[in-house]
């Protein structure tokens, strides 16, 4: 506290004409012990000076207050009062000591001065609220590997009045379930459940400090943002993985990589796999540990080499026969370089194909087809009422039949409705929804044949005419009734029964 000014010291002296008994004079005083509450108003009574009763006449005494704390008081007759007239407040928390000491000097004519002590205790009031040190928003970093029930951070508040504080977690805060207070008055925050960086990278919780020993129960809150740091707790994952839910967790299942090689041949470079290159990443996205690749040993793995850094697989020795070895299954292991105990295994299937020198091809660039309108689905017919069976020829196979050829319909321009009306079967038969067709309509269908192994395709066009119900397909005007074998089919009729051979309705019945 600053030293009082000279003016203040002068104001603490007073000359009194006091009645004394038996000539007591200054000896009638003594040390005083008293108390006053902080924040008391100017002029508040601090103490009354004792004066003995006696004659009407009395001695003239000179009283003065002195000392470092004398500026807080002044004399008013026999009363010592609080001096806060210069705008100061008696704030206990601002004082160097909660006890103020003043020297009371009494001087009487003909006697030596006598000094007494006035000791004033400043009583505390609850005029300060608790507050957290620094800002009201704090950030803490916690590893996802932090043990449950361990102290992860400490929230400390201060109360200038020295009140005892109790700490609580605000249950309304977003992530209160992850934390709890160790002891009510400690401020230490304990992890209540395990953290997972892969599901949550940031948490938020509110910690409140409440006065325990006051009637006001003043409190203060701090918002704590917790950054969850990635820890090395995940294993490598082959990509692209398929996420699946399992017992409340999301499990990443590895893909099966596939590649094709041709019997008796070596290709100049790594194999091309589907659905993508053999590749794995550390499951800890924040760490991304380096990955090393290897092939688990078996009788066929020696044919291949895998780059331990990139995962690229190269065929070292050609496969002699696709008949004896149609496919080779490899087990690929991806492990963390810094921790070989963290690894994953995926399957890579290498299919061995016969040499492919020719693409599949339709015998004709286009076909004529007919279907009678009706109430049910029907097969497309060709001339003479034979069922139209489209078959692509592949010279790489005996009898030209490639079992890996798949047929499909390609929608033509402005014919987005055609795939809904027509369907091509795996054996090359075409089916129409006859109940959605009207006589005299015509359609142009494009049929694709695709070799599923080589990816080669060819196409042909089907010119379709919708006949009247019961109308027979016309005969080939150029073939005299005999149909070329590539039209296929040895039976008549649709899916719902034999095709009718009755003549078309006359114009009068239409």
Q: In the predicted model, what is the mean pLDDT of the chain? A: 84
Judge whether residue 142 has pLDDT over 80: yes
- pLDDT, residue 311, reads 96
Q: Which residues of 390-414 are buried (b: 16+ CB within 10 A; e: fewer)?
A: bbbbbebbeeeebeebebebeeeee
Q: Tell me the β-bridge partners of 138.
A: 224
Predicted local distance difference test score (pLDDT) of residue 417:
52
The pLDDT value recorded for residue 494 is 40
Instruction: Judge residue 362's burial from the number of C-beta atoms within 10 Å of its C-beta, 0-12 exposed, 13-18 middle, 19 or more buried.
Output: buried
Whole-number Å distance between alpha carbons of 330 and 314: 12
Binning pLDDT at 50, 70 and 90, where does residue 8 land? very low
Q: How far is residue 303's CA from residue 319's CA, in Å, rounded to a whole number?
A: 9
- According to the model, what pLDDT value does residue 505 have? 43
Say what the pLDDT of residue 368 is.
95
Burial-class residue 17 by CB neighbours within 10 Å (0-12, 13-18, 19+): exposed
Alpha-carbon distance 166 to 173, whole Å? 18
Q: What is the mean pLDDT of residues 33-52?
A: 84
* 66 within 8 A of 12, measured Cβ to Cβ: yes
CA–CA separation, 197 vs 202, rounded Å?
Answer: 8
pLDDT of residue 58: 61
- Confidence check: pLDDT of 510 > 80: no
- Tell me how far CA of residue 311 lies from CA of 239, 243, 307, 314, 341, in angstroms: 12, 22, 5, 10, 19
Residue 418 DSSP symbol: H
State the average pLDDT over residues 373-383. Answer: 91
How is residue 140 written in tokens?
């803490």
DSSP class per residue in 455-507: --EEEEEEEEEEEPTTPPPPPPTTTTTPPPGGG--S-B-BTTBPPP-PPPPPT
Helix (H) or strand (E) holding 7, with range, is: helix 6-10
Q: Taken in order 484, 488, 489, 494, is the CA torsion positive or negative? A: negative
Q: How far is residue 27's CA from residue 115's CA, in Å, rounded to a whole number?
A: 10
Beta strand pairing call for 157-158 and 131-132: antiparallel
Q: pLDDT tier at 53 (50, 70, 90 boundaries)?
A: very low
**Would you call 140 helix, strand, or coil by DSSP?**
strand
Whole-prediction pTM? 0.51
Phi, psi (deg, nearest 5) at residue 119: -110, 120
Domains of the chain in sequence order:
6-123 (2.60.40.3430), 131-229 (2.60.40.60), 254-353 (2.60.40.60), 366-487 (2.60.40.60)
pLDDT given at position 112: 86
- Taking the CA atoms of residue 484, residue 487, residue 488 and residue 494 in that order, the dihedral angle to the nearest 10 degrees is -130
**3 exposure class (CB count in 10 Å sphere: 0-12, 13-18, 19+):** exposed
Answer yes or no: is pLDDT of 447 > 70.
yes
Predicted confidence at residue 43, as pLDDT, reads 87
Return the structure tokens found at 33: 């012990």
Secondary structure of residue 9 in the 3-state scheme:
helix
**In this predicted model, what pLDDT tens digit does every residue of 456-489 receive, in sequence order?**
899 999 999 999 999 999 998 876 444 444 454 4
Q: Please give the pLDDT value at position 24.
A: 67
H-helix or E-strand spanning residue 421: helix 418-421
123 pLDDT higher than 70: yes
Residue 504, CA atoms < 13 Å, CB-side half-sphere: 14
pLDDT digits (tens, 9 = 90+) for 321-363: 888 999 999 999 999 999 999 999 999 999 998 888 888 999 9
Q: Is the pLDDT of residue 158 over 70?
A: yes
CA-to-CA distance for 278 and 257, rounded, in angstroms?
7
192 burial level (CB within 10 Å; 0-12, 13-18, 19+): middle
Whether the pLDDT of residue 3 is over 70: the answer is no
């Amino acid at each position: 506290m600053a030293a009082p000014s000279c003016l203040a010291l002068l104001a603490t002296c007073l000359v009194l004409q006091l009645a004394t008994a038996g000539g007591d004079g200054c000896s009638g005083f003594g040390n005083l012990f008293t108390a006053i509450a902080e924040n008391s108003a100017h002029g508040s009574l601090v103490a009354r000076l004792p004066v003995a009763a006696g004659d009407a006449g009395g001695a003239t005494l000179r009283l003065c207050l002195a000392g470092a704390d004398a500026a807080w008081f002044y004399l008013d007759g026999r009363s010592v009062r609080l001096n806060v007239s210069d705008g100061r407040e008696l704030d206990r928390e601002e004082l160097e000591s909660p006890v103020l000491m003043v020297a009371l000097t009494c001087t009487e004519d003909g006697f030596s001065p006598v000094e007494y002590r006035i000791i004033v205790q400043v009583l505390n009031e609850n005029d300060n609220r608790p507050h957290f040190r620094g800002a009201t928003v704090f950030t803490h970093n916690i590893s996802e590997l932090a043990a449950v029930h361990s102290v992860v951070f400490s929230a400390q508040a201060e109360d200038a009045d020295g009140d005892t504080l109790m700490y609580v977690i605000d249950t309304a805060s977003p992530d209160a379930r992850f934390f709890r207070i160790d002891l009510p008055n400690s401020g230490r925050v304990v992890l209540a459940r395990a953290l997972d960086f892969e599901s949550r990278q940031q948490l938020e919780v509110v910690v409140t400090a409440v006065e325990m020993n006051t009637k006001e129960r003043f409190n203060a809150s701090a918002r704590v943002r917790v950054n969850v740091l990635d820890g090395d707790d995940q294993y490598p994952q082959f990509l692209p993985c398929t996420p699946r839910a399992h017992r409340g967790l999301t499990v990443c299942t590895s893909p099966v990589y596939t590649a094709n090689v041709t019997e008796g041949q070596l290709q100049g470079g790594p194999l091309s796999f589907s659905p993508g290159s053999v590749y794995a990443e550390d499951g800890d996205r924040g760490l991304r540990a380096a990955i090393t690749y290897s092939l688990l040993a078996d009788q066929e793995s020696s044919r291949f080499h895998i780059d331990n850094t990139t995962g690229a697989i190269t065929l070292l020795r050609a496969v002699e026969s696709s008949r004896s070895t149609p496919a080779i299954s490899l087990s690929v292991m991806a492990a963390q370089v810094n921790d070989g105990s963290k690894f994953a295994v995926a399957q890579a299937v290498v299919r061995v194909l016969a040499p492919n020198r020719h693409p599949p091809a339709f015998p004709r660039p286009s076909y004529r087809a007919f279907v009678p309108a009706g109430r049910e689905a029907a097969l497309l017919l060709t001339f003479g009422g034979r069922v139209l069976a489209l078959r692509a020829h592949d010279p790489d196979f005996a009898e030209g039949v490639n079992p890996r050829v798949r047929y499909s319909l390609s929608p033509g321009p402005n014919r987005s409705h055609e795939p809904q009306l027509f369907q091509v079967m795996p054996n090359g038969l075409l089916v129409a929804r006859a109940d959605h067709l009207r006589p005299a309509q015509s359609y142009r269908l494009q049929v694709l044949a695709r070799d599923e192994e080589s990816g080669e395709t060819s196409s042909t066009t089907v010119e379709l005419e919708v006949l009247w119900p019961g109308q027979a397909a016309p005969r080939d005007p150029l073939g005299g009734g005999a149909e070329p074998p590539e039209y296929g089919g040895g039976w008549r009729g649709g899916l719902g029964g034999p095709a009718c051979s009755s003549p078309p309705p006359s114009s009068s019945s239409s």
